[in-house]
Structure formats: structure tokens, C-alpha cells
Amino acid sequence: MLDGRIDTQGALADLRAQGVLDEIAQAEEVKSHENEQRVSAGSPSAEEIAAESVEDTNPARETKRPRKLIKDEERPEGGVKWNIYNTYLKASCV
């Protein structure tokens, strides 16, 4: 798949013979290596973590209440009018 469309198709043996599978594997390795570098560049060092833990011991800091990840289930209110039931019954008897 490439951009939501089929890029390459065929039997596994044919794709191996053409070298397509090797190209795909190399491209995936490059992508995963780039992602690892981005993640490691964005993760804090040991000194930064230690500095943050010292700052977190400040009692003047206000604690925030966590947000809810899931909404409470709601039940719709109201009713179905009689003419809707009547139309449904007429349509089902035909």
C-alpha cells in the first residue's frame, strides 16, 4: 500500500525474485531508525528528570484534577408520536 492505494501485488515468490520485498524492508528500517532518533531527541536526559523532581517537591504548586477520558453514557429523552407508529404499521401490512 502506498498513499491508500495498492502499490505492489503478486505472489510472494515473484516479489522476492524481483527484489521488491528487500526494498520494502530497507525502507521500513530507515523509517523506524528515523522514528527512534526523533523519540530519543525528544526524551529528557537524566539531569533534566532530576531537576524536574526537585521542582515537583515545591508545596506551593497547585495540583490539577485529571480530565475524564470517557464520557458518561447518556440516555435520550422523548418519545415517538402515534402517527409514526401508525405509518410504520401501515407500511408493514402491505
The answer as to whether 68 is a domain residue is: no
CB-based contact 27:21 (threshold 8 Å): no
For the chain, the average pLDDT equals 76
The answer as to whether 38 is a domain residue is: yes
The answer as to whether 90 is a domain residue is: no
> Could you give the percent of the chain with pLDDT greater than 70?
71
The answer as to whether 78 is a domain residue is: no
pTM metric for this prediction: 0.31
- 8-state DSSP, 5: B
The answer as to whether 88 is a domain residue is: no
The answer as to whether 17 is a domain residue is: no
pLDDT of amino acid 86: 92
pLDDT of amino acid 52: 61
Q: Per-residue confidence at 74, pLDDT binned at 50, 70, 90?
A: confident
pLDDT of amino acid 44: 58
Please give the residue range of the domain that contains residue 38: 22-51
pLDDT tens-digit map of 16-58: 788 877 887 788 888 887 777 776 666 556 666 666 655 555 5
What is residue 67's three-state secondary structure?
A: coil
Rounded CA-CA distance 13/20 in Å is: 10
Count of structural domains within the chain: 1
